[in-house]
Amino acid sequence: MHLHKPFLVICTLFVLFVACKKDEPAPVDDGVSGGPTLYTVPLPAWVLDSIGPMTPAPNNATTVEGVALGRRLFYDKMLSNDYSMSCGSCHKQENAFTDPRPFSIGTDGSVGSRNAMAVINLGWDHQFFWDGRADALESQAFGPVANPIEMRNSWPVVVDRLQADPDYPALFEAAFGTNIIDSTMVVKAISQFERTLVSFSSRFDSFQYQGDSSALTAQEQNGLTIFMRDGHCVDCHRDELMFDHSQRNNGLDMDPVDGGLGALTGNPNDWGKFKVPPLRNIAVTGPYMHDSRFNTLEEVVNFYAHNVQVNNPHLDGHMDPWRFGLVNLSPQDELDLVAFLHALTDNGFLTNPAFGPPQ
Query: What string of DSSP letters covers 251-283?
Result: SS-SS-SS-BHHHHH--GGGTTBEE----TTGG
From 168, 198, 228, give the residue that closes a domain. Answer: 198
With respect to residue 355, please indicate whether it lies within any of the assigned structural domains. Answer: no
pLDDT at 239: 78
**Does 8 fall in a domain?**
no
User: Would 34 be classed as within a structural domain?
Assistant: no
Q: Which of 150, 176, 198 is the last residue of a domain?
A: 198
pLDDT of 33 reads 53
CATH number at residue 218: 1.10.760.10
pLDDT of residue 13: 36
Give yes or no: residues 328 and 311 share one domain: yes
Point out which residues pair with 107 in neighbouring strands: none
* Residues 191 and 70 occupy one common structural domain: yes
Check whether residue 185 and residue 207 sit in a common domain: no
Same domain, 97 and 192: yes
Longest dimension (CA), the chain: 97
Q: Specify whether 290 is located in the same domain as 192.
A: no
Note whether residue 356 is domain-resident.
no
Question: Does residue 226 share a domain with residue 194?
Answer: no
In a domain, residue 122? The reply is yes
Same domain, 176 and 303: no
Show the domain range for 183. Answer: 45-198
Q: Which of 180, 198, 216 marks a domain boundary? A: 198
Q: How many domains does the chain have?
A: 2
Question: What is the reported pLDDT for 23?
Answer: 31
Q: Are residues 112 and 152 in the same domain?
A: yes
| 59 and 190 housed in the same domain | yes
Same-domain check for residues 105 and 55? yes
Q: Are residues 187 and 207 in the same domain?
A: no
| Residue-level pLDDT, tens digit, the chain, 359 residues | 344 433 333 333 333 333 333 332 233 444 445 789 999 999 999 999 999 999 889 999 999 999 999 999 999 999 999 999 999 999 999 999 999 999 999 999 999 999 999 999 999 999 999 999 999 999 999 999 999 999 999 999 999 999 999 999 999 999 999 999 999 999 999 999 999 999 999 999 999 999 999 999 999 999 999 999 999 999 999 879 999 889 999 999 999 999 999 999 999 999 999 999 999 999 999 999 999 999 999 999 999 999 999 999 999 999 999 999 999 999 999 999 999 999 999 999 999 999 999 98
The verdict on 133 and 54 lying in the same domain is: yes
Q: Which residues are catalytic?
A: 150
**Residue 74 counted as domain residue:** yes
Per-residue pLDDT tens over the stretch 264-297: 999 999 999 999 999 999 999 999 999 999 999 9
